[in-house]
Structure 1
Amino acid sequence: MKKLLLTGLLSMTLMGGVGLLQAAPDLEANTPVITAIKTSMQTRHAQLQSYYGSGAIGLTQDGYIAVKDASAVPLSQRGGLAGLVKDENSDRARLYKEIAAANGHPEWQGEIQSTFAGRWIDKAQAGWFYQKEGAWVKK
Structure 2
Amino acid sequence: MRTVIKVSGIFVVFLIVSCVTVNIYFPAAEVQKAADSIVEDVRTKANDVQKETVPAPAPGPSSRLDLLKQFRFGPVNAHAAVNIDVSTPAIRGIRDSMKNRFFQLKPFYDKGAIGENNKGLVEARNIAGLNLQERSQVNKLIEQENKDRTALYQEIATANKLGSETVPQIATIFANSWRGKSQPGWWVQGDNGVWAKK
- TMscore range, shorter length: 0.7 to 0.9
Asked if 2 retains the 8 angstrom alpha-carbon contact of 1:25 and 1:112, the reply is: no
TM-score normalized with structure 1 length: 0.83
Which range moved further: 34-43 or 72-81?
Answer: 72-81
Superposed, which structure 2 residues align to 1:12-91 within 5 Å?
Answer: 18-19=77-78, 21=79, 26=84, 29-91=86-148
Q: Post-superposition shift, 1:108?
A: 2.0
Q: Post-superposition shift, 1:109?
A: 1.4
Out of 183, 186, 192, the residue aligned to residue 125 of structure 1 is 183
Partners of 1:108 and 1:71 in 2: CA distance: 36
- Long gaps (5+) in structure 2: 1-67
- The answer for the alignment partner of 1:134 in structure 2 is 193
Asked if 1 retains the 8 angstrom alpha-carbon contact of 2:86 and 2:92, the reply is: no
- Long gaps (5+) in structure 1: none
Runs of 4 or more, structure 1, over 2 Å off, are: 21-25
Partners of 2:97 and 2:72 in 1: CA distance: 50
TM-score normalized with structure 2 length: 0.59
Q: Which has the higher helix share?
A: 1
Q: Post-superposition shift, 1:53?
A: 0.6
- The answer for the alignment partner of 2:160 in structure 1 is 103
Q: Post-superposition shift, 1:134?
A: 1.8
Using the aligned pairs only, state the percent identity. 34
RMSD: 2.2
Asked if 2 retains the 8 angstrom alpha-carbon contact of 1:96 and 1:113, the reply is: yes
Partners of 1:97 and 1:47 in 2: CA distance: 24
Partners of 1:103 and 1:129 in 2: CA distance: 32
